[in-house]
């Protein structure tokens, strides 16, 4: 029989039974090449999810910012109501924005509070001028000793801390302006209790202690029996995390039993360091993340004319400031006793310090061995 007529087909491996296929099986066509520029579907899905993720984070950031701002603004409105209208009227008008124009802010720390004997206390325990310079990202601090003898408008000559006792922040603003000749654009007032509450609301602050401190005995935190054996507040050298109470004590110490050269004037630098640490914490990412939950508590201890938006601007200025360019100044003079009261008689060097504070002349540090002398130093 001819090969063509056999009921089977021949293969290289032998013959196979079964019907002869009438049609040749079509092989699968090879994969078509991708058009130029076409990306795999898997890669396209990856970019889709990445885009959606970024968009979701942006939306979350916007919502978080709005919630934080609203919480913060509600507390600031109450802080604005606590500042007397006369004090607001005593301030100089600030033309421009805190983000772009220099401004001078007076921070007044009073000795009032809820503790026994402090209910009627309103003397300024701390007076600090903060000058911002957004154009150069520099901040300048000027401490005014509370015992500095000055002319209080309408009341004669006295310690500068008496201005707040007799006339509140309004008279304090006028007195500082008369003393320095500087326009005061904004003011922030906080008492002892508010100071502690502010720092506790921030979760504490980190402060560098340049040398060991052992204070005299004041505000003992223990029982009467234990306080009789207590040596005083001790601060070791180095960076320390402080809650509101320790930060307040650190700012108030006037006598360091480990360094007799410490005075009421030199403690001004400690107050500046604490103020700088508070500014660092307010401008931190961690504080921003907590704003929706604790924004109102940050402004609750304050009395100020600054609006929520202006405080946010001030936080941004602080965030962008270069600490290595910060200037720390203090007024000073000669210690004296008038009518049995310890005072500081201002020296002519205070005029030079004001020029340094405004960055019109190079800073000159206080002479060594003269703890009451004025001067300016960089960090």
Q: How many CB atoms lie within 10 A of CB 315?
A: 18
Residue 15: predicted pLDDT: 52
Local confidence band at 30 (pLDDT 50, 70, 90 cut-offs): low
pLDDT in tens, 87-98: 999 999 998 899
d(C-alpha 15, C-alpha 47), whole Å: 55
Q: Which of 54-68, 98-112, 158-172 is the least confident region? A: 54-68
Residue 26: predicted pLDDT: 53
d(C-alpha 366, C-alpha 368), whole Å: 6
Region of residue 331 (left: phi > 0; alpha: psi -120 to 50; beta: else): beta
Residues in the chain, overall count: 379
Residue 24: predicted pLDDT: 54
pLDDT in tens, 292-313: 777 788 888 899 999 999 998 9
Name the residue with tokens 């007044």. 108
Of 96 and 104, the one with more pLDDT: 104
Local confidence band at 34 (pLDDT 50, 70, 90 cut-offs): low
In the three-class reduction of DSSP (H, G, I as helix; E, B as strand; rest coil), residue 233 is classed as coil
pLDDT in tens, 193-208: 889 999 999 999 999 9
Strand order in the sheet with 341-346: 156-159, 148-152, 341-346, 333-338
Contact 302, 311 (CB under 8 A): no
Residue 374: predicted pLDDT: 96
Residue 33: predicted pLDDT: 58
Q: Is the pLDDT of residue 60 over 60?
A: yes
- Two structure tokens written together for 162: 């008496």
pLDDT in tens, 125-176: 899 999 999 999 999 999 999 999 999 999 999 999 999 999 999 999 999 9
Beta bridge pairs of residue 126: 109
Give the whole-number percent of the chain exceeding pLDDT 70: 85
Beta bridge pairs of residue 150: 158
Of 12 and 261, the one with more pLDDT: 261
d(C-alpha 137, C-alpha 321), whole Å: 4
Of 353 and 38, the one with more pLDDT: 353
d(C-alpha 262, C-alpha 215), whole Å: 10
Residue 6: predicted pLDDT: 52
Q: Which of 23-32, 148-157, 276-285 is the least confident region? A: 23-32
Q: How many CB atoms lie within 10 A of CB 109?
A: 25
* Mean pLDDT computed over 75-93: 94
* Mean pLDDT computed over 166-187: 96
* Mean pLDDT computed over 248-266: 89
pLDDT in tens, 320-379: 999 889 999 999 999 999 988 999 999 999 999 999 999 999 999 999 889 999 999 987
Residue 190: predicted pLDDT: 92
> Residue 45 carries which DSSP code?
H
- Which residues are CB-neighbours of 321 under 8 A, at least 6 positions away? 132, 137, 138, 139
Residue 146: predicted pLDDT: 93
Question: Considering the chain, what is the average pLDDT of its residues?
Answer: 86
Q: What is the largest CA-CA distance in the chain?
A: 146
Residue 17: predicted pLDDT: 55
In the three-class reduction of DSSP (H, G, I as helix; E, B as strand; rest coil), residue 358 is classed as coil
* Mean pLDDT computed over 236-252: 94
Q: Is the pLDDT of residue 68 over 80?
A: no
In the three-class reduction of DSSP (H, G, I as helix; E, B as strand; rest coil), residue 281 is classed as helix
Q: Is the pLDDT of residue 4 over 60?
A: no
């Amino acid at each position: 029989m001819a090969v063509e007529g056999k009921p089977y087909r021949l293969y290289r491996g032998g013959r196979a039974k079964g019907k002869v296929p009438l049609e040749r099986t079509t092989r699968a066509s090879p994969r078509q090449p991708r058009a130029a520029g076409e990306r795999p579907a898997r890669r396209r899905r990856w970019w889709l999810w990445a885009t959606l993720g970024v968009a979701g984070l942006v939306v979350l950031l916007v919502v978080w910012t709005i919630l934080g701002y609203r919480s913060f603004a509600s507390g600031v409105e109450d802080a604005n109501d606590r500042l007397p209208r006369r004090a607001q009227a005593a301030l100089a008008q600030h033309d421009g924005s805190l983000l772009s124009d220099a401004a001078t802010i007076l921070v007044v720390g009073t000795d009032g509070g809820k503790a026994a004997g402090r209910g009627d206390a309103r003397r300024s325990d701390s007076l600090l001028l903060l000058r911002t310079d957004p154009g150069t990202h520099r901040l300048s601090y000027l401490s005014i000793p509370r015992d500095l003898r000055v002319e209080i408008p309408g009341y004669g000559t006295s310690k500068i801390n008496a201005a707040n006792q007799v006339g509140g922040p309004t008279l304090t603003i006028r007195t500082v302006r008369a003393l320095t000749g500087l326009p005061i654009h904004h003011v922030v007032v906080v008492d002892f209790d508010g100071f502690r509450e502010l720092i506790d609301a921030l979760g504490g602050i980190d402060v560098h202690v340049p040398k060991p401190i052992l204070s005299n005995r004041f505000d003992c935190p223990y029982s009467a029996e234990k306080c009789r054996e207590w040596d005083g507040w001790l601060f070791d050298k180095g960076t320390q995390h402080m809650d509101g109470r320790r930060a307040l004590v650190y700012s108030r110490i006037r006598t360091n039993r480990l360094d007799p050269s410490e005075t009421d004037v030199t403690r001004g630098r400690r107050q500046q360091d604490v103020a700088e640490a508070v500014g660092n914490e307010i401008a931190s990412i961690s504080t921003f993340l907590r704003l929706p939950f604790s924004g109102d508590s940050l402004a609750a201890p304050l009395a100020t004319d600054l609006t929520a938006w202006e405080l946010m601007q001030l936080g941004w200025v602080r965030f962008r400031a270069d600490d290595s360019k910060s200037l720390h100044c203090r007024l000073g003079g000669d210690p004296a006793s008038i009518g049995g009261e310890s005072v500081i008689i201002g020296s002519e060097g205070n005029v030079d310090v004001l020029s340094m504070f405004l960055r019109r002349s190079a800073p000159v540090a206080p002479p060594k061995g003269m703890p009451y002398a004025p001067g300016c130093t960089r960090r």
